[in-house]
Amino acid sequence: MGDMKMKRMGTALALLTVLLLIGGSILAAERPMYPVKVSDNGRYFVDQKGTPVFWMGTTQWQLFREYKIEDARTILEKTADKGFVFAQVMLAGVGDGTKPNVYGEKPWINDNPLTPNEAYFKNVDAVVQIARENGVNISMTLYHQRWRKIITAENGRAWAKWLAQRYKEAPNIIWSMTPEAKPEFVPVLRELAAGLHEGDGGSHLITFKPDPAPYSSSFIHEEKWLDFDSMQTWKSVELIYPMVTHDYNLKPIKPVLMAEGAYEHGSEYGFDVTPRWIRRQAYYSYLAGAHHTYGHNDSWRVLPTWKQALDAPGAVQLRILKKIFLGLAEWWYLVGDQSIFADGGQTQGQILNLAARHKDGKWVMVYLGSKASFSIHMDKLAAPRLNARWIDPRTGAATAAGSFSNRVVPWFSTPDGWEDAILILEPATAVRP
């Protein structure tokens, strides 16, 4: 009996080791090899090996200023655990840029960006390094319109050059700026971009996200230094699809990021931002052809519950979203295509039914924002026979939905009791785990 028990324990430990190795391999496969660049077709992001990178970001605006280094480590480890590989952070924190960090150090001596405070930036250095160790890219906001009295067109280039030189060798940095979407801010943006290029030789991507919302950086889309468009829709989930679609169709082609929507359990919108609201924002973004960033109210406000918020349902369910997308063949060739619906598509309002396909018809994904019945043009897929499966966005649980010829136009109804739903159509020969 003792020998048998030992053998069983040995087998269990061996199985556990294998599972841990598999899990570690999956996590490692999701982490980009820095630095991140724009793909050749201008639609998505790739790492230094050319491997597509799934941009699923989170906002941690106060990471450099309002958290001690050990708390920043906890945040970044949890961020990586949820599948986020991008974190949007304000270099000087939320506000006018004059407040000190938790160690009492201000970003600039005498609030002058040309006299940066070394003690403040040593803390930034440490956080950037922790992010790198956890496979997280920092989208660093080096200018906010609330800092306009501190950073101007006159000193912006020198400030940005100093910053870019300091982080030239940090491969997990993306530069971001937050002006108002007004022509008067264009000169300072150009000076900042020029300084960044002088400082790091163009080794990091540059974007900007206008504030206040809703607005997109596409109002100066043609600027050569602007590597991708970013937008903020605030509480207006109904604006995600039209704003993304507009930016997606601009020339020259650039990636589109829905960089800030309503925060989970946000307190300023007049309604509770539920996990379903979080899911809708994300799926609407991706199925329209964009990338997406999530946020939680307690994190950016640094409430006493900030640590619990790192495991909020919305964040957990976006981890499920990412797994669903990564499970599709060549997910990066997604093309939003509402003509997939023969009936039941919906692109206006807050509750949408959206569809996307692989560019060569290898799969179709449909997201239903609520209970719905609809029909699909199966000839949008290349294979003669197709399998359909439902996925519950809350849990990731999948159930078969039938097998079909690509010559038919079948009707579907979302499963009873589901808040929202995903339908995946793939060739009948596709092997599912």
Q: Which two tokens stand for residue 416?
A: 């009873």
Cis preceding-peptide flag for 35 (omega within 30 of 0): yes
What is the domain class of 334-427 according to CATH?
A: mainly beta
pLDDT in tens, 226-283: 999 999 999 999 999 999 999 999 999 999 999 999 999 999 999 999 999 999 999 9
Q: Report residue 433's pLDDT band, with 50, 70 and 90 as the boundaries.
A: low
Distance CA 292, CA 142 (A): 21
Q: In the predicted model, is pLDDT for residue 11 greater than 50? A: no
Q: Do the strands 373-376 and 256-260 form a parallel or antiparallel pair, or are they unpaired?
A: unpaired
pLDDT in tens, 86-143: 999 999 999 999 999 999 999 999 999 999 999 999 999 999 999 999 999 999 999 9
CB 333 within 8 A of CB 294: no
Where in the sequence of the chain do the CATH 3.20.20.80 domains occur?
22-326
Q: Report residue 429's pLDDT band, with 50, 70 and 90 as the boundaries.
A: confident
Where in the sequence of the chain do the CATH 2.60.40 domains occur?
334-427
Query: Among 360, 330, 334, which residue's Cα sits nearest to residue 244?
Result: 334
Give me the residues paired with residue 423 across strands. Answer: 366, 390
Fold of 22-326: TIM Barrel (3.20.20)
Q: Name residues whose C-beta falls within 8 Å of residue 362's C-beta, 6 or more positions apart in sequence.
A: 329, 330, 333, 381, 382, 426, 427
Q: For position 29, what pLDDT does the model report?
A: 47
Q: Name residues whose C-beta falls within 8 Å of residue 216's C-beta, 6 or more positions apart in sequence.
A: 181, 210, 229, 230, 231, 232, 243, 246, 247
Distance CA 148, CA 336 (A): 38
Give how far Cα 71 sits from Cα of 33, 87, 313, Å. 25, 15, 21
